[in-house]
Structure 1
């Protein structure tokens, strides 16, 4: 069994973190497979929607220090995380070569990416959910940014994504305290999009992603790119981009089908 599973079924790609005995903490193998899976998602036109989830009772508990020690020599002491003997530059490069590739690849993917949060999500595990477009959590989920307790910073992009979802003051409070939040509390502050009963998580996510997969794909991808680009550009640039997108999507068959469906008062059947 590998540390990460990747499947595609009817246009829906599923990335499953597969170390349930370690609460799906990152290993080097998991990160490497994750990068390959995201490259496949980016390059495979048959993929319409992506689901990220965990196997077992955890979504992801963050980085597995001991695994990184054994395989990368990231730390010197194989039992304690406190003894950081490698150079600062080596540790920086290790982040860049592996875990930081994940948010960069996600930035290249215009398809919907859904985090199906089946259990605890802490530290980098929570950050991986924050990198997704939509977060759907079971009621049992608990989330926390626990970096402060280890005296480290969020090296995977959490400091970038967190304030964009909850605001600067709340993001700093979450990072500085390392407090744990229930799924409902996380939803109230904007960390989670939907919270559903534990036993309904699978059915809810399945219906949700199938709905997205049946939509006009190019239009949806232009929408996603426009939203994210709009967060880092001025109004004029954003309007220029969206007018170009409008010119393109109105040449597509999905647009013609949408207009016909509205006129005929029926649900559209997009390609």
Structure 2
């Protein structure tokens, strides 16, 4: 989110039969993947609707944090095998387009400035696991299970899992999870570094809202640029990182939120950030 983002952009999110958007806090939007009968497994419609919905919320000034979760008993069980946008008999270009729908979800979550909290309820498997990994934070319910199940069907993580996992849990653990398809559940998700906390299922959504609201209280421009700097940290050298940090710091120094923070410090009070 940038200072000139459109405050009404959230209203332009596409109408969808497979996801819902609701507002749980003044500056927090929650996206629910809404295919509960399939444990919110991806079909083409869900893949195509999710990206523009994320983009619309990211452009909305009033939205400073997003929660992504699944309706019912699952976060996202992977791919709906009865309704998937790719198959082995496609030519390479068609296959790239089909797999690109999954990759677009991960790239959008990583590239947007608004922080995203995954509230992982139930299964997050395969592509669903990678969607959760692409979020900035993961809070797990006690019944949550995450797994890179691609190897079980003779696949590799095609939508970013092999890129994301080493950054989150380290190379050795990432290889173990990917090469064995190991299921990690409940408190073990915290022990593996896959989730920041594990809470009772009945407390999951409230906990996610509380944390997202905490993020939403911060200065949005600084948070967006901080996310960008951290996301690229493993891909650039220190000199480039310093250049990008200087540019970002300069941008932040010219915001009203920076002025408000300085003034609040001088007056010994909490700052009230507006995103400008």
TM-score by length of 2: 0.87
Equivalent residue of 2:232, what SS? helix
36-45 or 130-139: which moved more? 36-45
Kept in 1: contact 2:186–2:198 (CA 8 A): yes
Task: Give the corresponding residue for 1:249.
Answer: 252
Deviates more, 1:86-95 or 1:45-54: 86-95
The residue aligned with 2:241 is: 238
**Residue 114 (structure 2) pairs with residue 111 (structure 1):** yes
Q: Which residue of structure 1 lines up, in the alignment, with residue 135 of structure 2?
A: 132
In the TM superposition, what are the counterparts of 1:105-254 in structure 2 within 5 Å? 105-254=108-257
Instruction: Tell whether 2:97 aligns with 1:93.
Output: yes
Q: Which runs of 5+ in 1 are unaligned?
A: 76-83
Instruction: After superposition, give the CA deviation of every residue in 1:53-72 in whole Å (9 maximum; x if it has no partner).
Output: 0000111100001112xxx5
CA distance in 1, matches of 2:142, 2:269: 36
Name the counterpart of 2:78.
62
Task: Tell me whether 1:31 sits opposite 2:47 in the alignment.
Answer: yes
Cα separation, 1, equivalents of 2:137 and 2:63: 17
Name which of 18, 30, 37 aligns with 1:21: 37
Structure with larger RCO (C-alpha < 8 A, sep 6+):
2
Contact kept? 1:116, 1:136, Cα under 8 Å: yes
2:61 to 42, 45, 65: 45
> Alignment partner of 1:66: what SS?
coil
Secondary structure of the residue aligned to 1:65 is coil
Which shows bigger deviation, 57-66 or 208-217?
208-217
Pick aligned residue for 1:5 from 20, 38, 55: 20
The Cα of 1:204 is off from its aligned counterpart by: 1.2
SS in 1 for 2:17: coil
2:32 aligned counterpart, secondary structure: strand
| Distance in structure 2 (CA, Å) of the matches to 1:67 and 1:194 | 33
Equivalent residue for 1:79? none
Is 1:261 the counterpart of 2:264 in the alignment? yes
Contact kept in structure 2, 1:106 and 1:131, CA below 8 Å = yes
Shift, 1:114, TM fit? 0.9
> Where does structure 2 lack aligned partners over 5 or more consecutive residues?
1-15
Would the aligned equivalents of 1:3 and 1:27 in 2 still touch at CA under 8 Å?
A: no
- TM-score between the two structures when normalised by the length of structure 1: 0.89
Contact residue 62 and residue 125 of structure 1 kept, 8 A: yes
Matched residues, number? 258
